[in-house]
Structure 1
Amino acid sequence: MHLAKITNLLLFAFTFATPLFIQAQAQAQIQQEHPNLIMTKAGVEKLRQNLGKVPLFDKSLQSVKQQVDAEIALGIDTPIPKDFSGGYTHQRHKLNFQVAQKAGELYQILQDDKYAKYIRDMLFQYEAMYQDLPVHPQTRSYARGKLFWQCLNDSNWLVYMSQAYDAIYDTLSVEERAKLENNLFRPFADFISIGNPQFYNRIHNHSTWGNAAVGMIALVMNDEELLQRALYGIEDDGLELDLKDNDGGFIKVAGQKAGFLANLEEPFSPDGYFTEGPYYQRYAMYPFLIFGLAAHHVKPELQVFEHKDNVLLKAVDALLNLTDADGKFFPLNDGQKGMSYYSPELVTAVDIAYHYGSQDPKLLSIVEKQALVLLNESGLSAAIGVRDGKTQPFAKKSINLSDGPDGKQGGVAILRYGNEDLSLVFKYAAQGLSHGHYDKLSYSLYNKGDEVLQDYGLARFVNIEQKGGGNYLSENKTWAKQTIAHNTLTQNETSHFNGEYETASQYHSDLYLYDDSNKDLQVVSATESNAYPGTAMHRTMAMIKPKNFEKPFVLDILKVSSQTKHQYDLPFYFMGQVMKMNFTYDSPSSLSPLGKDQGYQHLYVEGKGKPSDNTTQFSWLGNGTFYTLTTATDSNDELLLTRLGANDPEFNLRRDAALMIRRKNAGDTVFASVVEPHGSYNLVSELSVNSNSSIKELQVVHDDANYTAIAIKDVKGTTSLFVLANKANSTTQQHKLKINGKYYQWTGAYHFTDS
């Protein structure tokens, strides 16, 4: 019955409009001014008046002009689709929509008819081919497109081409517009929406692109039915069962809200954190903000920018804070390393946030680094701010970003010391939809822009055809998503929630405390009680700068509570060259995988040893800085030196190394460690300074249900003590605890003595 409804909708949508309908359509459209999406007539006039007066805008205009002129000289190619991402047909159609959008801007600003003609000719080439175009021949996607292998990229095309069409709208005759809209744009919008409800009608960055695409063309065409479909989704999509795609899975629940406004409401926390993680937040910000801008111009009553207490503008600030010192996004969940705020999406985001937000001068420092602005009024505004010397530094500080639509589904905390000399990224968030990883209470550590302890990110070579057609590799499931791939605890060689998406989506970790009030003692702590039935984890991360240490270090306390015995594995994925360790180990003559599945099948064991005493140390050199991991161990622990690459015949995985602590036959236990940066090595002078750790001993000196205490003894014999109240996180509660015959008194959830 539901399939029949969808079929009838499609048949109705694809029926060629009558002349009377065309006439009514034309009369309605005459009432609108064009352009009206990302540019307006008044805004374009302002751009023209400022030509030659705003250096950054003029530079951006010239750069775009050179690219578009080169493409016009090459001629228009709209090949029959056949390739995955990275292949020629995919890249050609992608470049077409990008260049067409830019050509539209140039036409409006420079008033040169060659740009309008270029767009017109391209659109009519697509109109001629689209009517008879079948679905894409590549069958991998859960929602195949026509121009591209997935509806997601078809939606990209329509978002951009809507802007190009809007820019040249007034140059086309009524008949030409009717032909494009009835043969190309309306069928295109129907195909990616009612033709593919499993793609369109859900909460996901894919759907956001689809919603924005339908909404953008609806605003150009003044089509209220399409606009409602964009904003609120398809009322009866016929989807009553859970559906999962091959790239990680998703859940479509019957009755679930859909459409652009639902995608604006559900994935964002009140702090602007996007539950899929910064890599996909960056990707989704373009349709969110571009459609928001179009709605601001055409339908201001929708108040998209103001929705959910200005969450879109907050999201830009959140994204900028989710970067390292070089502007690269932290690879939480599925995220390709190297993606940064220099991406086109962030140029769009920063310019729009500056112009339509509070015109925060700190954003201008990002604009200066990007060295590029949009060719619209928001780009001009940012460029004028730079020209007029309004720039202030965007100094990133420690921040705690909540997750979930109500901000109550965990979050991500970033502790920073100094000018990002040390940055700790602690994840205690929700699952993150289909792009989430099974890594509760995981963390990564950065020194400036250098990874110290890494998160693997995704297993994919985006748009590189030789690697799986540029799509997600199977190793994304078998390795990158698995718990053992992260710096967190794995129990019994089984991933959190047994690697089951449906189960993981029901739960999130909980914040216990967050305190960044003292730059020399910053603490974040969170709990997880659902990853393993019957096992609770409580992890506390403290960034501490003691008086007698050269640099700050990170104290990591992972308290595990379980009434039954288990094997616990805690890896540390270090980045650099091994220097030394204080334990002996055996190296096998041939390499074997550590386990059979859930990520273990990809790890070779390069060495196996035992602690030499109750303090184990492991040092490495990473990009000119020495690091030492000091951890409290006992004689029964195993120390495994692992390297990624087993069962990887196509060499899809990096050959990353780790030190893993394995603790067998344990119930309640505490893993306590310090990651300590120290000294330096200069490759030019070949001078090594302070290459040895300042820590002599690390001990768990007290642990029970109420308190855990860690003692840190340095090489000079001075001992510091960190104590955590495990069940009382009030900042006003008083505590008294006797440790090794000495009483300690304090107020608040934790206490540190820097003796």
Structure 2
Amino acid sequence: MTTKIKIVFIVIGFIVLSCKDETTKNNNDQVSNQGHPNLILTKAGVEKIKSQLGSIPIFDKTLQTTKEDIDAEIALGIDVPIPKDFSGGYTHARHKRNFLILQKAGALFQILEEEKYAVYVRDMLMAYAKLYPTLPVHPQTRSYARGKIFWQCLNDSNWLVYTAQAYDCIYEWLSEEERHVLENELFIPFANFISEENPQFFNRVHNHSTWGNVAVGMIALVMDHDELLEKALNGLKTDNLKAGMKDNDGGFIKVEGQKVGFLANVDEPFSPDGYYTEGPYYQRYAMYPFLIFAEALHHVKPELKIFEYKEGVLLKSVNALINLSDADGEFFPLNDGQKGMSYYSRELVTAVDIAYHFGGNNPELLSIAKKQDRVLLDDAGLAVALGIKEGKDKPFEKKSINLSDGPNGDQGGVGVLRSEDLELVFKYAGQGLSHGHYDKLSFSLYEDGEEVIQDYGLVRFVNIEQKGGGNYLKENKTWAKQTIAHNTVIQNETSHFEGKYEVGSKHHSELHFYDDINSQVQIVSAKETNAYPGTQMLRTFAIIHDKDFEKPFILDILQVNSDNENQYDLPYYYLGQIMKANFQYTVLPELKPLGNSNGYQHLWKEATGKPSSHNSKFSWLNKGNFYTITTISDAQDDLIMARTGAKDPDFNLRREPSLIIRRHAQNTVFASVIESHGNYNPVSEFAVNTYSSISNLKVIYNDENYTAIQIEDVSKKVKVLLLANKDASKLSEHILKIEDKEYKWTGPYNYKLKSE
């Protein structure tokens, strides 16, 4: 019997066992057997915290900072304004501040036993109980599911997830009459509005719905409300929606036969490796409700064994997410992702603490917690604080990693290659739900936490009211989601899957092979056969640590085979100042967009050139380091220098450059080496090792079975990378004769001196 089926039986079991007559079932003044608090804080945990206060530095520091923050809010008084604004506006920001403050004030009441915090929580909740019954849906009409306190149900759900924790902390302090008012005037109507009145929001698989499911589930656990808990875990029994109906993000609300509810939102978006299909930015956002509700279920419904669900994927996902961050802890902006979001966020403080406490006390997580320099004011936060105090922390070692996508791990994935300070992120994943981009086989490159070749991320100024109310801007669809915005091949100026969600969501790339065992060569290869009908792509990245080079270098090999001749564009979105190119180019006297649609309309065509040799070189300086792309050129190639910002009247796009290799062919191989070399010190004004170490790069063999790339450095040493294009078995033996030399190797690739 599968874990999933077992859980469903357990859920049914506890609902049946707790069955009462209708009057008793809805008597929400009952307290659970262990009493309150019991969601995140527990009675036993509170007593343990109290006994340790003054001797656990990171916990004590967090407690003091929180106390100062909440005391300042209490002094200002309670403000529960009538909702009217988008994200970033006053009413939105105030209500968001309120739910964060409520949760913290509840924790302070339990830990410090100062009644002023309970009074503050009660009085604010009573203010909401008075306001909520009078509210229509929010006056801003942009969302597919408008909230009441906020412009979308998503933010209403945020409010309830946090507020349920505050209510749990003062539950036993309140009178029965006060609980009756809060539950019947505020919490039950609120939960029913999120669920029954907004099935298009509640009943689907998406981070939005996770928040909705958890909001209803958290308040259900506080009130011991079985009916609401069943909705949270398994969704609404019927939602009266047409299968395949779209939301305004372009994502499907529900497809026929799809399971919904919290358990489905664990089953579907997470791969067995813990990768979340929407990408790390939204995984970070969703980790809070996933783990907070899991912790609450663990405390209140231990029979569910929620942390064991799907082979413990919720705890496993925290490690996966940390591995999807750069050297500075900032998450790679795959799909819709705001740059700068990192594991210093409040969601990741929660995730790290809970994963440490319930996931076997991994000492590497303590090193992340030390960097975060704060903990949760609860049982998990105490466990982390004690672990740090006792010196149990160990460095979190980020190595090369390959994370599968899809609920069964068979829908492509993301590979991260790491060597010294270099990190290469290769995306060959599924669509990523409505936050996905059309960018199969795309990549980005980092050095010591700095972007070298970037992924654009999202087009949104989150919670900045001046920019579209802090919401997604139209250029997110017309630029950021389009294939030309990414470092991958574009055929005939048309995005992968024609930029259609319903097509892209049916397909994913396939891993060809991945190998990180050899410290000299970290390598990943993947295929894409559906982005363009009749066209197959195979892309391989290797970070090669070669003693004849100053630093490791990247080898990028992209093979394209098609039924017809096409125009192929391969952009590299480098960051920095151009230093030198070995080809002649002409700067255009008048800027014009590179194209008319599919994102091309947002690129200014600044200069064009033609290769002057069979290798084209392009160098730039960024953050004190020199970089060079050496790419194998065809005489008929166009080398285009472009920059974002065309047809952008509101200046919503960053103005950033790219080098685009344009080629007309039926079948072709794009092969390039990307080097980091030398440095420039503006204080000493010394420039060191400013030129590429590659003297010659060429394809010496290519057919459907094998590809061989030859690299000659400036000291005349010649190396060869050999690739098996079909047979990726690690055990297969290969023999390939190139000119007068025979190469023998085992496995999908080999890197060696040509003379060996």
Give the alignment's TM-score, normalised by structure 1: 0.96
Where does residue 676 of structure 1 map in the other structure? 675
* Aligned equivalents of 1:221, 1:241: Cα separation in 2: 33
Where does residue 10 of structure 1 map in the other structure? none
Q: 1:27 to 1:637 in 2, by over 3 A?
A: closer
CA contact (8 A) 1:251 1:502 kept: no
Q: 1:432-465 CA deviation, whole Å, 9 max, x = no partner?
A: 0000000000000000101110000000000000
Where does residue 539 of structure 1 map in the other structure? 539
Where does residue 733 of structure 2 map in the other structure? 734
Unaligned runs of 5+ in 2: 1-21
> How far 1:34 sits from its partner (Å)?
0.4
CA contact (8 A) 1:22 1:178 kept: no
* Aligned equivalents of 2:32, 2:700: Cα separation in 1: 78
Helix, strand or coil at the partner of 1:579? strand
- Code of the aligned partner of 1:264: V
Q: How does 1:641-680 map to 2 (within 5 A)?
A: 641-664=641-664, 666-680=665-679
* Aligned equivalents of 1:344, 1:367: Cα separation in 2: 11
Q: 1:499-555 CA deviation, whole Å, 9 max, x = no partner?
A: 000000000000000000011111100000000000000000011012211100010
Q: How does 1:370-519 map to 2 (within 5 A)?
A: 370-418=372-420, 421-519=421-519
* Aligned equivalents of 1:306, 1:60: Cα separation in 2: 30
- Code of the aligned partner of 1:49: S
Where does residue 122 of structure 1 map in the other structure? 124
Helix, strand or coil at the partner of 1:546? coil
Stretch moving more, 507-516 or 679-688: 679-688
> How far 1:367 sits from its partner (Å)?
0.6
Q: 1:24 to 1:752 in 2, by over 3 A?
A: closer
Helix, strand or coil at the partner of 1:82? coil
What is the count of residue pairs matched by the alignment? Answer: 733
Q: How does 1:614-629 map to 2 (within 5 A)?
A: 614-629=614-629
> How far 1:248 sits from its partner (Å)?
3.8
* Aligned equivalents of 2:358, 2:624: Cα separation in 1: 42
Helix, strand or coil at the partner of 1:606? strand
- Code of the aligned partner of 2:30: A
CA contact (8 A) 2:29 2:223 kept: no
CA contact (8 A) 1:571 1:658 kept: yes
Stretch moving more, 254-263 or 484-493: 254-263
CA contact (8 A) 2:28 2:225 kept: no
CA contact (8 A) 1:547 1:754 kept: no
CA contact (8 A) 2:29 2:179 kept: no
Which residue of 184, 187, 200 corresponds with 1:185? 187
Q: 1:448-484 CA deviation, whole Å, 9 max, x = no partner?
A: 1011100000000000000000000000000000000
Which residue of 255, 279, 303 corresponds with 1:253? 255
Q: 1:319 to 1:600 in 2, by over 3 A?
A: same
Where does residue 607 of structure 1 map in the other structure? 607
Where does residue 49 of structure 2 map in the other structure? 47
CA contact (8 A) 2:84 2:91 kept: yes
Where does residue 15 of structure 2 map in the other structure? none
* Aligned equivalents of 2:497, 2:148: Cα separation in 1: 37
What's the RMSD between the two structures over aligned residues?
1.1
CA contact (8 A) 1:239 1:254 kept: no
> How far 1:22 sits from its partner (Å)?
8.2
Helix, strand or coil at the partner of 2:134? coil
Where does residue 306 of structure 1 map in the other structure? 308
Where does residue 97 of structure 2 map in the other structure? 95
* Aligned equivalents of 1:692, 1:564: Cα separation in 2: 39
Where does residue 693 of structure 2 map in the other structure? 694
CA contact (8 A) 2:276 2:405 kept: yes
- Code of the aligned partner of 1:463: N
Helix, strand or coil at the partner of 1:589? strand
- Code of the aligned partner of 1:608: T
Helix, strand or coil at the partner of 1:284? helix
CA contact (8 A) 2:46 2:378 kept: yes
> How far 1:31 sits from its partner (Å)?
4.3
> How far 1:245 sits from its partner (Å)?
2.5
Where does residue 548 of structure 1 map in the other structure? 548
Where does residue 582 of structure 2 map in the other structure? 582
Q: 1:708-732 CA deviation, whole Å, 9 max, x = no partner?
A: 1111111121111111111111111
* Aligned equivalents of 2:373, 2:170: Cα separation in 1: 28
Where does residue 721 of structure 2 map in the other structure? 722
CA contact (8 A) 1:26 1:174 kept: no
CA contact (8 A) 1:373 1:382 kept: yes
Stretch moving more, 728-737 or 46-55: 728-737
> How far 1:686 sits from its partner (Å)?
1.2
Stretch moving more, 744-753 or 332-341: 744-753
Helix, strand or coil at the partner of 1:170? coil
Helix, strand or coil at the partner of 1:531? coil
- Code of the aligned partner of 1:735: H
* Aligned equivalents of 2:581, 2:76: Cα separation in 1: 60
* Aligned equivalents of 2:680, 2:449: Cα separation in 1: 17
Give the alignment's TM-score, normalised by structure 2: 0.96
Unaligned runs of 5+ in 1: 1-19
* Aligned equivalents of 1:742, 1:609: Cα separation in 2: 37
Q: 1:23 to 1:239 in 2, by over 3 A?
A: closer
CA contact (8 A) 1:270 1:406 kept: yes
- Code of the aligned partner of 2:492: N
